[in-house]
Amino acid sequence: MHDFKYVTRKERAPVKNDLIAIIKRTQNLLRDDLTFRFDFVGSDRRSMVTYAPQTNIGYDFDINLEVNDDDCNYTPEKSNSKLYRR
């Protein structure tokens, strides 16, 4: 059984900033085909991010990605784009 501990905002800030940088690079790579927004939700929003110090499991971040698709061309099941053939 894991002994989970809460992570302070200061402790998790570098990891969160790395995640944001990865997401923004992804947005830039996909910009010609689609755009999306992202929001940190769940434990991060409530400042309740946890980790297990005895393991290398990492932090518990939850991120919502929302595709800006007014034409409804993208679904989790199917894509009408060349994106998935790369």
pLDDT digits (tens, 9 = 90+) for 31-57: 888 889 999 988 888 888 888 888 777
Model's pTM, two decimal places? 0.72
In whole angstroms, give the CA distance from residue 74 to residue 68.
9
Its sign, for the CA torsion 45, 3, 58, 15, is: positive
**pLDDT in the model for residue 38:** 94
| Contact partners, residue 53, CB within 8 Å, separation at least 6 | 3, 5
